[in-house]
Amino acid sequence: MTPAAFKSKVSTNSVAETQALAARLAAKLLPGDIVALEGELASGKTTFTQGLTQYFSIDEYAASPTFTYMNEYHAENVTILHIDAYRLKSGNELVEMGFWEYVENGAIAVIEWADIVADILPPEIIRLQFRRDDAAQNRRHIIISSLRGLDLT
Ligand SMILES: Nc1ncnc2c1ncn2[C@@H]1O[C@H](COP(=O)(O)OP(=O)(O)O)[C@@H](O)[C@H]1O
Ligand SMILES: [Mg+2]
Query: What percentage of the chain carries pLDDT values higher than 70?
Result: 92
pLDDT value of residue 38: 98
Q: What is the mean pLDDT of residues 142-151?
A: 93
Query: What ranges do the domains of the chain cover?
Result: 18-132
Superfamily holding 18-132: P-loop containing nucleotide triphosphate hydrolases (3.40.50.300)
CA distance 19 to 73: 17
Lining residues, ligand 1, CB within 6 Å? 12-15, 17-18, 39, 41-47, 64, 112, 138, 140
Q: What is the pLDDT of residue 67?
A: 57
Mutate to test the pocket of ligand 1, among 15, 48, 139 (most ligand atoms within 8 A of CB): 15
- CA gap 144, 21 in Å, rounded: 11
Residue 130 C-alpha to ligand 1 middle, in angstroms? 10
The candidate with the shortest Cα–Cα distance to 37, out of 96, 109, 119, 132, is 109
Residue 59, CA distances (Å) to 1, 15, 63, 125 in order: 39, 18, 12, 26
pTM of the model: 0.94
The number of beta carbons lying within 10 Å of the beta carbon of residue 132 is: 17
CA-proximal residue: ligand 1, atom 3 (nearest): 15
Structure confidence at residue 49 as a pLDDT band (50, 70, 90): very high
Confidence at residue 128, expressed as pLDDT on a 0 to 100 scale? 98
